[in-house]
Structure 1
Amino acid sequence: MRIIADRDRCVGAGQCVLTEPAVFDQSEDDGTVLVQRDEVDGEILVSVQEAVHVCPSQALSLKQE
């Protein structure tokens, strides 16, 4: 699955980073989401799906490749 992050929509809540710090980080400039890995699968996909679900601004989505 491919991770899509809309940085214009991101409010910098950091829930994605708390949910899966191996995949998500936050910009030091404005706190918006930074995606460390564009594609995920396997066990890490479950936590990435949770991060997408808990994002308060719905700035994250997944796309099947």
Structure 2
Amino acid sequence: MKLSARNVLKGRITKVNHGAVESEIVIELSPGVEIVSTITKASAEGMKLKPGDTAHAIIKASNVIIGVD
């Protein structure tokens, strides 16, 4: 897999929650560290995503916003 994105985080899928149109995918990057993505249900089903699978979270963004109280 070749990508232009620099932020590619490999992990294991822990949860797949299908909604009517979208699916929420939870990937554990390391113990206690998770990232969540919402993708179309059609994409999740087409990729046959399920808990236990290895997957990559690919982040392509021009801005990262940080806030503090």
Instruction: With the length of structure 1 as denominator, give the TM-score of the two structures.
Output: 0.28
Higher relative contact order (CA 8 A, sep 6+): 1
The answer to which structure has the higher strand fraction is 2
The answer to which structure has the higher helix fraction is 1
Q: Considering only CA atoms, is the larger Rg found in Structure 1 or Structure 2?
A: 2
